[in-house]
Amino acid sequence: MSSVLCRSHKIAVGSRVARDLRGTTPTLLPAQVGIGKSFSSTHATSSSNTDELPLSGIRVLELGQLIAGPFCGQLLGHFGAEVIKIEPPAGGDPLRVWRELDIDGVSPWFRSLGRNKKSVAIDLRQDEGRALVKRLATNSDVILENFKPGTLEKWGLGPSALHPLNPSLIFTRVSGYGQTGPWSSRPGYASVCEAESGFRYINGFVDPETNTLSGPPVRPNISLGDSVAGLHAAFGTVLALLSRQKKVSKGEKSGQTVDVSIMESMLNLMEGIIPEYDRKGKVRGPSGSSVTGIVPTNAYPCLPSPTTPSSPTYIIIGANGDTLYAHLMHAIGREDLIGPNYAKNQHRVTRQAEIEEAISDWTRVRSAEQVLDVLDRAGVPVGRVVGVKEIMDNEHVKARGAVEDVWVGETDGGWNVKMPGVFPVLEGSGAKTRWAGPDLGEHTDDVLIKELGLDTKELARLREGGIVG
């Protein structure tokens, strides 16, 4: 991605010639162009230079909290954007104290989701706090927020207030139901939006008599809707940056809003449920551990492991391809289930119970290791259902570097935290975690002095008034 995506005062091209986004006059930049070069974090794990990363030169003001907005910010920061996270001085992002807490009282989850970000503590409920953020916004590329629609406007920080000051500013806005429409003002947590998107309806176990849910729907034990919305927000932000580049070349207004709805982000994952209903009147319902209309792909029981002798171990087999299905039947000795009546998926769907029973009869008298060995050699996709301990010990995970070691705290007296990597892996980019999620307000002074020119006396006054932290 060309670095001409970056904000107006630091748009670096190969010869260090920049074009002001608000005009067309080329400007020679100093030799050292880069955001955050002067930044030094106690959490930095390396002194790696971010100048070559795809989003180097992009400044993001992250005003959101919890998961959806910060997940987007984590992705942008990993690939080189300077992410300045604005947090309330009293407590910061609530995620700091969610779930398990580390020895310093901060959630390791926050250390992971807040990686590669600067923490600036500013109280947005106070006029002076909002004025500080407005000044930072005039020199930024992206405002990232996941408040209830209308909140930024109430604070005087919406597009109509900031675009006159920075016409090229991109607003990435994540909410439950979007910025418009009759539901836009509804509070929208991921769990509720997952239900409203239809996702929860198709997850659970089916009542064989009614073909509907047997009991309550099953939810994944993660906030899936938030993370999926964060992915959409990051993708939308990069699209808006590319769009801005094209608009600038034409002399057009380049500011834009990226409107991300958690409900719509989940709906985007729902495959063919809408066209299938439209054309065939088919309402897809729950399917337990299988997938409607695709056979065989399911969870199958194996013999209990020594560590859990009272319950079976489960493995997942995905042999829904026609050739893979034949390989599976050969591997389990059920060649009688190969032939014209089983050749294509549509044939197997009508014989699902028979096929599933044959596979389960074979797996349940074998250990998971035996099943994996036989099916691996047969070239059939198979995997064990595992927990986090097995993930941490997995040789493939280790070989790929999918789990990182990140230092938290001072060089002396700190500790290591293992975190999942940030993906995708971009060949040759060198993108990696540069520091863990920072302490609350760790970069307040650094950012406000260097970016806004405040002096220590003014900072002391603001801090005494609870405006900054």
pLDDT by residue, tens only, the chain of 469 residues: 433 354 543 333 222 223 233 333 222 222 222 222 222 333 443 435 778 899 999 999 999 999 999 999 999 999 999 999 999 999 999 999 999 999 999 999 999 999 999 999 999 999 999 999 999 999 999 999 999 999 999 999 999 999 999 999 999 999 999 999 999 999 999 999 999 999 999 999 988 888 788 889 999 999 999 999 999 999 999 999 999 999 999 988 789 999 999 999 999 999 999 999 999 999 999 999 999 999 999 999 999 988 888 888 999 999 999 999 999 999 999 999 999 999 999 999 999 999 999 999 999 999 999 999 999 999 999 999 999 999 999 999 999 999 999 999 887 889 999 999 999 999 989 899 999 999 999 999 999 999 999 999 999 999 999 999 9
The pLDDT value given to residue 63? 97
The pLDDT value given to residue 411? 77
Q: Which of 93, 226, 259, 439 is catalytic?
A: 226
Contact 194, 265 (CB under 8 A): no
The pLDDT value given to residue 367? 96
Please list the residues that pair with 401 across neighbouring strands: none
Please list the residues that pair with 419 across neighbouring strands: 404
Residue 346 CA, chain-centre distance (Å), reads: 35
Q: If DSSP codes are grouped into helix, strand and coil, which group holds residue 53?
A: coil
Peptide bond into 296 cis (omega under 30): yes
Catalytic residue status for 226: yes
The pLDDT value given to residue 312? 86
Q: If DSSP codes are grouped into helix, strand and coil, which group holds residue 134?
A: helix
Model pTM score? 0.88
The strand order across the sheet containing 170-175 reads: 117-121, 82-87, 59-62, 142-145, 170-175, 256-261
Q: Give the span between the Cα atoms of 99 and 339, in whole angstroms.
A: 52
The pLDDT value given to residue 309? 87
Spatial CB neighbours of 42, under 8 Å, sequence gap ≥ 6: 409, 410, 411, 414, 435, 442
Contact 208, 287 (CB under 8 A): no
Q: Give the span between the Cα atoms of 159 and 424, in whole angstroms.
A: 31
Tokens 């959490």 belong to 43
Q: Residue 32: which region, alpha, beta or left (left: phi > 0; alpha: psi -120 to 50)?
A: beta
